[in-house]
Amino acid sequence: MTETSGSLDEEIFHLYQEPAIGSGYSNIYGEENILRLVDKYRNLNSADKARMRDLVVSFSESVDLASSFVSVAVLHALGMDDAVKKAYRLAEGRDDAESIQRHFDIGISLADHFIKD
């Protein structure tokens, strides 16, 4: 059964927000958010995967550091290397580029450590 775009969007937004990053020992860097987002994606039909992919890509380009680094981790875990490279390129133009890219590196390391194929 296909979810409506609105309810899917809301669920994805919720997965970014809950649990709050840094709210506990098991989610210091958003590892639970990353795991849940990847799991959600893997369990969607193709139309909903396309919608979620669009949302995650747009969040990877956000100026919100938490959203962008979690998104880069999710994109990396799902093998969407072009979107990851684009997020790094966009970060290069920001004043805090080094900090952003270090966070992206952390997200990628988390994905490599926690996400099983």
Per-residue pLDDT tens, the chain, 117 aa: give them: 445 667 999 999 999 999 999 988 889 989 999 999 999 999 999 999 999 999 999 999 999 999 999 999 999 999 999 999 999 999 998 999 999 999 999 999 999 999 877
**Confidence (pLDDT) at 4:** 60
* CA-to-CA dists, residue 26 to 19, 22, 98, 100, angstroms: 10, 8, 26, 22
Backbone angles phi, psi at 46, to 5 degrees: -60, -40
Q: What is the pTM of this model?
A: 0.91
Q: The domain containing residue 77 runs over which residues?
A: 5-114
Q: In total, how many domains does the chain have?
A: 1
**Confidence (pLDDT) at 5:** 64
